Structure 1
Amino acid sequence: MSIRMLRTLIAVEENGTFSAAGEAVFVTHAAVSQQMKALEAGWGVTLFDRTRRTPELTPVGRAIVTRAREIVAAYDNLLPSVLGDDGLRGNLSLGSVPTGLTSLIPFAITSIKARFPDLHIGVTPGQTKELLIDLERGVLDAAVITKPHVVPHNMRWAPISQEPMELLTSLNVTSDDPFEILATHPYIRFTRKALLSDFIDNWLQEKNITVKDTMELENLEIISSMVHADLGVSIVPRRSVQPPNPLPLKHIPLGDDAPVRELGLMSLANTVKLRVLQEVEAELLNAVAVGRFDPFPQGAG
């Protein structure tokens, strides 16, 4: 067994086929097959079900991939830990729900890059449920997500902010009564793939509000543009970090019992990148404390 073989095994799980895994780790299909057979022979276990057209990992194979990720991550962290930089260099894979990508995430990354120029942060967008799967698989080091109903026991949750839901309307809407507006205007729904959609739908049901769906979108910027064009109204989270140039829209509170979305940083509990994730968490909290992302403040330069 070697680290190279473990990387290939992980690549097979991530890419689905030996050929795609070979492309990911820059070896041939035959080399991938040879390495996997060598692992099976060395360990005396069956990693793949080869009765299928495309070999699939067995339950034992999937369990070994999980441990292999930990071993490879520890290996990658070996030199930084010895040199004493605590991993504040190299690569960090960060996921984020779409609502964090216009202000919260760029604010935090800009600050981190200024302090740790040798640290490269790659960002992957996705919905909370998708990002949790990528965390479990080890594809991501951490993700900014909506707090799930149950935090998996093998995960570490660090709360970042609480964002109450509010009603978004164009400036042409004269009423300030959210119940009247929802009953009389077309409704632009947050995608059902988003976890926060559950919070919104539960609140609508509790209030016995029936909306007239006209669109279902997953990007807050697109929703805002549609609302700005007076094509409907929408219930959205009140962003804890405002973007640089927000559209002129009405933000109407839903009341004291409005649903609240908790944003946080999720990572594997046994991550070897805890030190750098603590820095990411600190910068995210700082962004929330400031409340607005301004990449080019007046007077700068």
Structure 2
Amino acid sequence: MSIRMLRTLIAVADHGTFSAAADAVFVTHAAVSQQMRALEEQWQVAIFDRSTRTPELTPIGRAILAKAREVVRAYDDIVPSVMGDDGLSGRFTLGSAPTALTALVPFATAILKARYGDLHVALFPGLTTNLIHQVERNSLDAALVSKPPVVPRGLAWCPIASEELVLITSRRVTCTDPVRILRTNPFIRFSRDAVVGSIIESWLQANGIDVHDSMEMVGLEAISSLVMADLGVSIIPEPCVQVFNPLPLRRFSLAADNPPHRELGLVHPRDTTKSRVIEEVAAAMRRATAIGKFSSETIAGAL
């Protein structure tokens, strides 16, 4: 058994087939099959159910996979764990929900880079559920996401900010009653594949508000532009860090008392030697949030 074999096993699980795994780890299909056979023979267990067209992990195979991820993660962390910089150099992979990529993440990354010039932050956008899976698979060191209903076992949650969900309309909408606006205008829905979209849908149902869907999207900028063009109204998270020169939209709180919010935070493995850099990433994000506005002037002031 070798780390290389464990990486191959993880690649098979992540990519679905031996052929796709072969491409991912840069070996032949035959080599992947040979490595998996060798693992099964060495451990005297069936890792894959080969009665199906595409080999599937057996129950014991899934248990082995979970341990393999832990072993590979620990192996990859050996050098950073003994370096005097606590891992504050080299490459750090960070996932981010799209809504945070226009201001919070670039602002925080600029703050981080100013202090740790040898740290390279590689950014990967995605929806919360997918990003959490990537953190679980050790494909990402951490991810900035909307807090899910349940944080998976083995991952830790580090809160960054709470963002109120607000109703946005164009300047041509003159009504000031949020419920009436929602019931009488086309609704541009935040994708229900995103956690924040599910929060919005739950709030609408809890308050008995029927909306007239016209579109369903993920991008905050795209939704805001469509609203400004008077193609509908929408509910979005009010960014904890405002972009420079935001679009001229009307904003309404959804409730005077206890309006809905989405919680934004970092998810990362509980057992990681990159805890020091994760602490610094979180600190930079909280500083950006405290400043609250993303512009050349605020960046210069923060650095």
- TM-score (structure 2 length as normaliser): 0.92
* 1:23-62 matches, cutoff 5 A: 23-62=23-62
Amino acid of the structure 2 residue aligned with 1:242: Q
Amino acid of the structure 1 residue aligned with 2:240: S
How far apart are the structure 2 equivalents of 1:176 and 1:199? 23
- Alpha-carbon offset, residue 297 of structure 1: 5.9
| Shift in alpha-carbon separation, 1:128–1:297, aligned structure 2, 3 A | closer
In the alignment, what sits opposite 2:86? 86
What are the superposed Cα offsets for residues 69-94 of structure 1, whole Å, 9 maximum, x if unpaired? 22222222212222222122233222
| Shift in alpha-carbon separation, 1:137–1:299, aligned structure 2, 3 A | closer
Amino acid of the structure 2 residue aligned with 1:283: A
Contact 2:107 2:299 in 1 (8 A): no
3-state SS, counterpart of residue 93 of structure 1 = strand
In the alignment, what sits opposite 2:126? 126
In the alignment, what sits opposite 1:257? 258
* 1:1-301 matches, cutoff 5 A: 1-255=1-255, 256-295=257-296
Runs (4 or more) in structure 1 with deviation over 3 Å come to 295-300
Contact 1:73 1:272 in 2 (8 A): no
| Shift in alpha-carbon separation, 1:32–1:230, aligned structure 2, 3 A | same
Work out the number of aligned pairs and report it.
301
- Alpha-carbon offset, residue 47 of structure 1: 1.6
Contact 1:203 1:258 in 2 (8 A): no
Contact 2:80 2:274 in 1 (8 A): no
Question: What fraction of aligned residue pairs are identical, expressed as a percent?
Answer: 56
3-state SS, counterpart of residue 7 of structure 1 = helix
Amino acid of the structure 1 residue aligned with 2:3: I
Amino acid of the structure 2 residue aligned with 1:70: E
Deviates more, 1:157-166 or 1:172-181: 172-181
Amino acid of the structure 1 residue aligned with 2:215: M
Amino acid of the structure 2 residue aligned with 1:63: A
Contact 1:40 1:46 in 2 (8 A): yes
Amino acid of the structure 2 residue aligned with 1:257: N
- Alpha-carbon offset, residue 169 of structure 1: 0.7
Deviates more, 1:128-137 or 1:250-259: 128-137
How far apart are the structure 2 equivalents of 1:232 and 1:12? 44
- TM-score (structure 1 length as normaliser): 0.92
Contact 1:166 1:237 in 2 (8 A): yes
How far apart are the structure 2 equivalents of 1:144 and 1:186? 31
How far apart are the structure 1 equivalents of 2:113 and 2:61? 38
Deviates more, 1:131-140 or 1:159-168: 131-140
How far apart are the structure 1 equivalents of 2:299 and 2:69? 45
What are the superposed Cα offsets for residues 93-131 of structure 1, whole Å, 9 maximum, x if unpaired? 222211111111111222222222332322222222222
Amino acid of the structure 1 residue aligned with 2:267: M
Contact 1:113 1:119 in 2 (8 A): yes
Contact 2:73 2:138 in 1 (8 A): no
| Shift in alpha-carbon separation, 1:155–1:227, aligned structure 2, 3 A | same
3-state SS, counterpart of residue 138 of structure 1 = coil
